[in-house]
Amino acid sequence: MMHGYWTGIGFLAITLAAAVLASASADGDTAGNSLKGKKVAILVTDGFEQVEMTEPRKALDAAGAKTVIVSPSTGQVKGWKHTEWGDSFPVDLGLDAASADQFDALLLPGGVINPDKLRMNPKAVAFVKAFVGAGKPIAAICHGPWTLVEADVVKGRKLTSWPSLKTDIRNAGGLWEDKTVVVDRGLVTSRKPDDIPAFNQKMIEEFAAARPKVSAGK
């Protein structure tokens, strides 16, 4: 995101939350929310807010999930750190070769550039819509819900986001709330990086509660 809301307190909270999750995983105990055997797609393209991908991914990995970066980009995708370009990350699976059938859940990081590009990509929109159609859980943070709006899947659902998306969400029939984290029928949403600890906790709970729906042989 190109906003100056990142704070030292928020960073400390995220670091502590990640440490707790990692410790729990090492002890074989994730408070009944183990994601062992579950496969999570992380849909991004260049310009995703880096911490909104890396910190939730760490939490998912610590809970035993297999995380896969899916992207219309090839080779690598580049993150965004507050006001400048961040690090590059390898793409694990090209969007052209990806299907919702291959995964149990979906993570949609934010950033302004990333979801704006994804919502203009018909394959990315169809990929997201397929998760909803299959009843699979989705976690989206900050500007991430933009792609959900484009996929026309927010009608009648409670969710939150970066405040500038409020009107878009309401126009699409969504019930926007200004809360740290909102959960509605398998959809987990949060507003900004400072919300990541609460976002991660609810994301893992929802992903763990969902029955495995990966097609055989995937």
Strands (E), 26-118: 39-43, 48-49, 66-71, 76-81, 84-90, 93-94, 105-108
Is residue 3 flagged as an active site residue? no
Is residue 142 flagged as an active site residue? yes
Q: Mutual orientation of helices 50-62 and 196-209 as an angle, nearest 10°?
A: 50
Structure tokens at 161: 């986001």
Let me know if 183 is exposed, middle or buried by CB neighbors in 10 A (0-12, 13-18, 19+): middle
CB atoms within 10 A of CB 114: 31
Residue 53 DSSP SS3:
helix
Q: What is the Cα–Cα distance from 90 to 67, expressed in whole angstroms?
A: 12
- Of 142, 148, 159, 165, the catalytic one is 142
- Of 38, 58, 117, 143, the catalytic one is 143
Give per-residue burial for 155-170: e unless 16+ CB within 10 Å, then b. eebbbbbbeebeebbe
Catalytic residue ranges: 142-143
